[in-house]
Structure formats: C-alpha cells, structure tokens
Amino acid sequence: MGKKIAIIVFVVFIALQFFQPSLPEVIVDNPNDLLTNNPEIPGDVTAILRNSCYDCHSNTTNYPWYSYLSPVSLLVVHDIEEGREELNFSNWESFNKIEKAGAIDDIIGVIEAREMPIQIYTVIHQDASLSDSERELLIGWADEYSDSLFD
C-alpha cells in the first residue's frame, strides 16, 4: 500500500516536470537600479537589500536549483512576479520623488510589521531572514534616505 502511494507520488512528480512555467527573466544591466546609482548607501544596508530583498524585488534574481522543479517553480514564479510588480529596485531611478517616498513608506511598513521577507522564502533561505538589528538598520537608512529626497 505504502509502496503504491510512493510510486504514484513519484510518477506524478515526474509528470509535473513536463509542465515548467517560464521563470521571470534575469536582467543584469539595470541602468535605473537603486544600488548602482546610489553608491553612498552603506555597505551593510546594501548587503541586506541584496541578500534579503533583491531575489524578488529586482531583475537580478538568483534562482536556486529547486526553482527549476515543479511544483515549487510555480510558487517561485508567482512570488517573483508579484514582488517585482509591487516594488522593483532595478527600476528605482525611474520613480519620481513622491513615488520613492511612497515606496520607502511601504518598505518601512512591511519591515516593521514583519511581513517581509515572506516566511516561505526565509524558511528556505535562512540567511535572508532579518534580525531585529538588521531591521532597525534598514529602517533607519530608509528613513534618512527619504528625508534626503526633500532637503
């Protein structure tokens, strides 16, 4: 009985591999990227953004091996598409000041409310989960950056 189920699961898993969604495109050259255009952003903040945010919120996604396996790939595609649509740091400099301030407010809000990074992502990418001090650091930078827009 157990063997039969295992075989069925295996067959379904193999069959699923024939249905691969296309993963959102990785674009390396992003002239409007936040980090490339703002070298004054401190290194520790840059590291947090790249490590905990950029996989879903930029065009420079690092796809792990399992993102090529169905049905995980479906979830990955969905999260990245949604993430880029909501906020894409690769397009940062195409936003005007007001849009930037709105995005910063959003960033601070989701970090404070611990909505981001999403849990399913940090379960797999444990190094992407943010400690309290990292959250503080990111919020502090975001707040100062936003102020600097209106100096």
Q: Which residues bind other proteins (CB under 8 A)?
A: 96-99, 101-102, 104-106, 109, 112-113, 115, 143, 146-147, 149-150
CB of 73 or CB of 138, closer to other proteins:
138
Residue 114 C-beta: closest distance to other proteins, Å:
10
The burial class, CB within 10 Å (0-12 / 13-18 / 19+), for 125 is: middle
Residue 71 C-beta: closest distance to other proteins, Å:
26
How far apart (Å, rounded) are the C-alpha atoms in residues 5 and 30?
48
CB of 48 or CB of 87, closer to other proteins:
87
Residue 144 C-beta: closest distance to other proteins, Å:
9
30 contact partners, CB below 8 Å, separation of at least 6: 36, 58, 59, 60, 90, 91
